Amino acid sequence: MSDKLENSNSQKLQIQKQYKEWKEGDGKKVHISTYYSGMDRLTNFKQNYGKGSGDIPMSKNFQRAYGIIVPFIALAIVGIVLYLFIGLAIDELYYSIWCDTDSNWEKCIGLPVSPGIIVVAFLDSLLLLLMLINMFREPWKSQILVKTKSGGYDFRFRKGTKMESYKNKILTNLFLKADTNKDGSLDFTEFLRIGGEDPMNLTDEEIKEYEEDFEKADKDGDGKLSLEEMEDFSDT
């Protein structure tokens, strides 16, 4: 009994130590970049980036096109939503106060577009400006676009950057909250809590899928997941 308690305390201390290191940013000092000018993209990705199993780095040209097309699609969607919820209300208010009932926007304000569209275009422009500024700041300027094992696209960040450290902090917080018995590891029920799942609401097929994920994450096969195993699994 005393050996079991001592082992439990040891695991708790290890988890707390790892959490403290990530919280204080010590994890950023672990990796020393091997990048040099002229290093090919694949070698740089393998040596200096946090990557998941099955990740395939995309070419620079593909990443540039993706970085232009996807944000503009996102901005267009945001613009439509803003106009529906804000622009139409502005139009109605402005028209009722300043315009004659039989006049159009060009006659009323001297422009062929409504005030709501102008406001939405301004807000969208601010979002675009923030996105452009962010592209030239760490860690986004050193990101690499990858095709994931599932067939989607995601960004991977250079080891030691704030984004990697932030990801570790989030994972550690989730791990500590899910570890209800505070033994420094997660059993299957606690593993489900990380995703906010209630076993009572899951179908047999969904439970089977989670069990398969749990087995993949449990590298040492002890029936429990350590923080290190969860970190490796989250990358995949």
Which residues, 6+ apart, have CB-to-CB distance to 207 below 8 Å? 199
So where are the chain's domains? 2-30+160-235, 56-147
The predicted pLDDT at position 27 comes to 45
The predicted pLDDT at position 189 comes to 82
Pick out the chain residues at pLDDT < 70.
1-38, 53, 100-107, 109-111, 136-141, 160-168, 195-199, 234-236
Task: Please give the Cα distance from 126 to 132 (Å, whole number).
Answer: 10
pTM: 0.52
Three-class SS string for 42-111?
A: HHHHHHHECCCCCCEECCHHHHHHHHHHHHHHHHHHHHHHHHHHHHHHHHHHHHHHHCCCCCCHHHHHCC
Reply yes or no on domain 2-30+160-235 having CATH 3.40.50.300.
no
Helices (H), 179-226: 188-194, 204-217
The predicted pLDDT at position 97 comes to 77
The predicted pLDDT at position 28 comes to 44
Task: Please give the Cα distance from 234 to 23 (Å, whole number).
Answer: 18
